[in-house]
Amino acid sequence: MQMVDKDKPSPQLIATMRKQFVVEREVDRALTWKMEKRAGAPFTKLPLEALVKGVTALIAANLKSPFEVRNAHWLAGGASKLQMGFELAWGRPGVGQTTTKMVLRTDLAESLHATSRLREFQIVNAMKGTLPVPEAFWVDVLGEHLPYPGIVYGFAAGVTKPSTAKSGVSGLGTWMPPDVRNALAPQFVRDMAKLHTFDFRKAELSAFDIPQTGTENAHWAVSWWDRVWAEDAAEEVPLMALASSWLHKHAPAVDQLSIVHGDFRTGNYLFDEPTLTIGTWLDWELARIGDRHQDLAWSTSKAFSTMTEDGKTVLISGLMPENEFLEAYEQAAGLKVDAKALHYYQVFNAYSMIAMTLGTSYRVAKNGKSHQDILLAWLLGVGYMLMDEMRGLIEKGV
């Protein structure tokens, strides 16, 4: 890395990053927007009234009938977004006068993931009827009405873990009692299979680019995190350069393009605790059109795994042994799991998570761009665990 001021990136630096790393158009726009805004003011605690004013303006720009925003309140959760709950009294098309619980999910001065709210909005609407997803009502792509870009969702009820369960930050290492995981595991597999067999070409996904060659998908994916690392990292890490080279050199050809969630794991779905039924899949901001093995590898990451009560068996995403998961997935999706592709995306996912934790988490916390600076600083420690995991995976694949 050149000695440049990444906290106040020049137009020349931004142009260099855009030219050096070939990524999807909307990914490029989101990353460029991040860099152009970086030299601005750090995050300051917004009064609730500012978000109410912004969401009122956003709704007014999309809804021509009278409405009222009521009972606004802060919502906890999430490592990279600010969330506000509220009720909307309105004349809902096809329903009539009603009151609807809603959630505003908005960016910060800078987030753990510099992603596109337009892509998130489109993918959630595309999945409606295929997977349980929150209803996405309106999006402010560029922050024209809100302090930062954001989406208005319908409120989704449920929990991310049972009241008796143990978990780490952001759902990492969630331990489920046997009866809970036995009920949720088949639903987890079923929903992943539905996602990967969904015909995305029939959906409105104009913010997503479709890879045209077998390996272009993998190169786009790696270049995304190459660029994030180059823009955010504070120091040279030879292993990251080696990993990037390895990933580009060994890029596998995808046999069938699918919608990839990008963060498919326990902690990102809500379920009804009395019935143990998954009711909503959340956090679609990393979704892309790519290789299903990316999701399979993500779900099997050690970062999201737990052990059985006797400490002898690793449970992927806290739910089931990996071999059982992969066998159940093949049966549900009718798609084979390629061991080499799975291994490749295990390396890739470790690489992307290191870029997030040792790169972006550091940069955002250092510059005070988020209300989650303590959490982001904590994630730095996770990065070194992932570094060791990635090293071992690369050695295994040599």
> Does the pLDDT value for residue 170 go beyond 70?
no
Phi, psi (rounded to 5 degrees) for 111: -115, 165
Across the range 163-187, mean pLDDT stands at 81
The rounded percent of the chain whose pLDDT value lies above 90 is 79
Q: What is the pLDDT of residue 323?
A: 97
DSSP string, 55-89: HHHHHHHH--S-EEEEEEEEE---SS-EEEEEEEE
Q: Output the pLDDT for position 387.
A: 94
Q: Go through the domains of the chain in sequence order and give each one's CATH number.
A: 1-40+212-253+337-398 (no CATH), 48-154 (3.30.200.20)
**Residue-level pLDDT at 398:** 66
| Closest CA relative to residue 188, chosen from 392, 324, 385 | 324
Cα→Cα distances 255→53, 213, 214, 395, Å: 48, 10, 7, 25
Q: How confident is the model at residue 167 (pLDDT cuts 50, 70, 90)?
A: low
Can you say whether residue 146 is alpha, beta or left, with left for phi > 0 and alpha for psi between -120 and 50 degrees? beta
Q: What is the model's pLDDT at position 366?
A: 87
Yes or no: say if 371 and 321 are a contact pair by the CB < 8 Å rule. no
Does pLDDT of 49 surpass 90? yes
Range of lowest pLDDT (161-175, 176-190, 254-268, 370-384): 161-175
pLDDT at 358 > cutoff 80: yes
231 has pLDDT over 80: yes
Specify whether the CB–CB gap between 135 and 150 falls below 8 A: no
Higher pLDDT, 112 or 74: 74
Buried b (16+ CB within 10 A) or exposed e, 148-169: bbbbbbeebeeebbbeebebee
Q: Is the per-residue pLDDT at 184 higher than 90?
A: yes
Instruction: Give the span between the Cα atoms of 264 and 300, in whole angstroms.
Output: 10
pLDDT for residue 187: 98
Residue 173 has pLDDT above 80, yes or no: no
pLDDT given for residue 241 in this prediction: 97
User: What is the chain's mean pLDDT, rounded?
Assistant: 93
pLDDT of residue 378: 80
pLDDT at 55 over 90: yes
Residue given tokens 């902690």 in the structure block: 267
The rounded percent of the chain whose pLDDT value lies above 70 is 96
CB-based contacts of 12: which residues, under 8 Å, 6+ apart?
none
- pLDDT, greater one: 4 or 392: 392
Structure tokens at 77: 């959760």
Average pLDDT of 219-246?
Answer: 96
Please compute the mean of the pLDDT values over residues 314-336 and round it to a whole number: 97
Stretch 284-295: mean pLDDT: 97
The residue ranking higher by pLDDT, 120 or 162, is 120
Q: Is the pLDDT of residue 134 over 90?
A: yes
pLDDT of residue 1: 45
Which is more confidently placed, 80 or 338? Answer: 338
Strands 136-140 and 150-154: antiparallel
